[in-house]
A and B are shown apart, each in its own frame.
Chain A
Amino acid sequence: MKINAAIIGPGNIGTDLAYKALRSEWISPLWSVGIDPESDGLAHARKLGIKTTSEGIDGLMPHIQADDIKIAFDATSAYCHAEHARKLNEAGVLVIDLTPAAIGPPCVPSVNLKEHVGSKAMNVNMVTCGGQATIPFVAAVSRVQEVAYGEIVATVSSRSIGPGTRNNIDEFTRTTAAGIERVGGAAQGKAIIVINPAEPPIIMRDTVHCLTREEPDQEAIKASLQAMLEEVQRYVPGCRIKNGPIFDGHRVSVFLEIEGLGDYLPKYAGNLDIMTAAALRTSELFAQEFLSVNATDGSRAGEKA
C-alpha cells in the first residue's frame, strides 16, 4: 500500500524527484503539475506514466479527492509557494516544500526528521540544496559542543541551477542561514552560494565552517561528523567528506563533495539529488504515519463491528 502524491513544478528538481519517487516503497507519484504545455518536464512525466496538467495548481485541484492525493511536493519557486500551499492545505493535502519559501518548519532528515512525526504539520520546508548538504555537519559539531557561528559555502555547477534558484538567490542565502541556526544549532548562521560555469560541470561541493565557543574537542567532533556522514549517505550515497575536519583555533572546517545518482541530471548535480532525496525521505516518513493511522482506525472499526 502506497500514499498517492503530486509533484508541482516539472523542472529539474520535480523531474528528478519523479524518478526517485517511482522507486519508493511508500509513495506513488500520480500527478505532475506544470504551467507550460510544451514543457520537457511534463513530457518526461508522461513518458514515466505519470498524469500531467499544464494548468498549474488549479489543474490539479479537481483530482485531489478522486485520486486520493495525500502529499504534494512543491518544486516551483518561493514566490508561487504560498498560494500552492494554501490551496493544497485547504484540500487536506500535506505539502513538502522544496522552494526556499520556508513557511513551514525546516526539515533536514538526518538531523530532525523524527521531530516532524506526529507534529500534524501540514507544510514542511526542505530548506535549500546547500542547506541539506551542510546543515547535518553543522549539527554534528553542535551536538558535541556549542557552535557560536556556522558558515557554509555551497558551490554548484551553472547547469544544475534553474531559473527558480536564480531568481531567488537571496531566499537561498537567507533560508540556508536560518536553517544553520534552527536545525544546525549554530548561534549565528551565514550561507554563501557560488555558481561555477566550468565545462565539464563540477560536482557540487560544500564547505562547512564552525566556530566553537570553547576549544574544539577534536576526537568527539571527528566521530560525530563520521556518524552524521553515514546517516546522510543512507539517502544520498554520493555524499563524501573530501578533506578535513581541519582544526584551526576554534575553527572546524569540513570540505564535502556531493555526487548525485544521475537520475535526471548527470551525477555532477548532487545539489539536485540531495534536495529530492531528502524530500522523498521526509514524505516516506509521513506516508508511513498515514498508513499506520489508517491501519489503527481500521482495526478499531473492526472491533466495533
Chain B
Amino acid sequence: MNLKNRPVTIHEMSLRDGMHARQHQFGIEEMVEVACALDSAGVPLIEVSHGDGLGGSSINYGFSKHSEEDYLRAVIAKMTQAKISALLLPGIGTVDELRMAVDCGIHTIRVATHCTEADISKQHIQLGRELGLDTVGFLMMAHMVTPEELLVQAKLMVDYGAHCVYCTDSAGYMLPEDVRIRITHLRENLPEDVEIGFHGHHNLGMGIANSLAAIDAGAKRIDGSAAGLGAGAGNTPTEVLVAVLDRMQAAHNINLYAMMDLAEDLVVPLTEKPVRVDRESLVLGYAGVYSSFLLFAQRAGARYGVSPRDILVELGRRKTVGGQEDMIEDVALDMARAQKGEA
C-alpha cells in the first residue's frame, strides 16, 4: 500500500464520540483544554456534540452535563486554526438545534442516518448547505448493507447537497476488505468533488487497518479520537493513526508528539476505566452492534442480573440500529423474566 503524499483530513471525535465513554459528563473546562491542545497539535476539524448528536441529551441516551450551546461557544472562542463540527441525527435533533449550532459558529454539520434511511436527512442537509456550512452525510452501521445499497443512499445525500459522504462502521464490525469494497464503490460512482469519509470503531482492533484501507480506496476524511476516546472500544486512536501516516508519508498537518502528549496527559486521565477492547466491546464488533450500547448493556446487566454479553448478542439478533438504546433495558427485562421462569 502506497499512501505517500496522499492528502488526509483527520476529524477528531474525542469531544463527541468520547462523550459516550464519559456518559456525556465532560466539564466545559476539560473540553476546552482538550480542544485547545488538539488545535495546537494541528488537528483541522474537531467535533463537539452530545454523543448522539445535537439534541441527544435525554433519558434515553443520557443527559449532558452542560448544554450543547455552552460547550460549542466555549470551544469555538478558543480555536486558532481548527474548525468545529457538530453531529445531528434526524429523529433526535432538529433544524432548530442546527440553527443554534450555526449561531455558535460551527463550520461543519454532519447529518447521520442509519445506512438505509438517508431520505430522512433531506431537511437538514439542505439547510446546512443553505447556511453555507461544510455539509456531510454520515451513513451509520454501514456493515449492514452491500456497497451497492450504500451507494444508493450516499447518492441521496449528495443530491440533497452533501459535500462529503461517510461510510460509518458504528459497530466496529468491518474488516479491511469490507471497508475497501465500500469506499471503492462510492469513490468510483460519486462525483469527484464529493469527498468520501470513514469513521471506525476499534471493537475488533481494526481501527488503524480499516482507516488505511479506506484512504487507499479513496477516502479523504478519516475520523480518529485521541487515546481512542469513544463508544465501545473507542474510535481509531488519532495518535496511532498519525504515527502510521507519518511512516507512510501521507500528507496531514498534525504534529505527532503533540498528539501523543495530549492523548496521554490530557485524555487518558479523563476516563475512570480505560477505553479498550474488553469482553463486551469485543462482542459489539463480533455481533455487529451499535457501539454506544456498551455502557447501557453493562448497567442493565448489573441491574437485572443478566449477562451484558447475552444482552448485546440478543440486540444484534434483533437487528437493532443506532438510537435504539431503549431496547437494552427492554431486552434485559425480557431475559431476566425468562431466567426466572427457568429457575
Contacts and interface: CB of A to CB of B under 8 A. Distances in A.
A174 B117 CA distance: 20
A155 interface: yes
A245 B180 CA distance: 46
B interface, size bucket: 20 to 34
B59 A196 contact: no
A173 B60 CA distance: 15
A197 B59 contact: no
Contact of A151 (B60, B94, B117, B318): B60
Given A151-B59, A209-B60, A255-B333, A198 B319 contact: yes
Contacts of A153: 60, 323-326
B162 to A, nearest CB: 17
Nearest to B332: A243
A43 interface: no
Interface stretch (B119-127, B221-229, B259-267): B119-127
Nearest to A210: B59
B128 to A, nearest CB: 13
Interface in B257-304: none
A251 interface: yes
A169 interface: yes
Contact of A195 (B60, B120, B124, B318): B120
Nearest to A248: B303
B324 A197 contact: no
Interface string A179-192: 00000000000101
A167 interface: yes
A251 B322 CA distance: 23
A193 interface: yes
Q: Which residue of A158, A169, A255 has the most chain B CB atoms within 10 A of its CB atom? A: A169
Interface string B303-343: 00000000000000011111111110110011000000000
Interface string B126-144: 0000000000000000000
B92 interface: yes
Interface string A210-225: 0100000000000000
Nearest to B98: A170
B79 interface: no
A46 interface: no
Nearest to B57: A190
B321 A192 contact: no
Nearest to A197: B116
Contacts of A211: 59
A193 to B, nearest CB: 4
B149 to A, nearest CB: 10
A243 B156 CA distance: 38
A192 B60 CA distance: 9
Contact of B324 (A158, A170, A190, A194): A194
A246 B58 CA distance: 17
Contacts of A190: 58
B193 to A, nearest CB: 26
A137 B166 CA distance: 38
B114 interface: yes
B321 A194 contact: yes
Given A207-B330, A243-B329, 16 more contacts: A149-B59, A158-B117, A163-B119, A167-B119, A167-B122, A169-B90, A170-B95, A170-B124, A173-B91, A194-B91, A194-B324, A196-B324, A198-B318, A244-B333, A246-B333, A255-B326
Pairs A-B, 8 closest by C-beta atoms: A198-B319, A207-B326, A170-B94, A194-B323, A243-B333, A209-B59, A197-B116, A193-B91
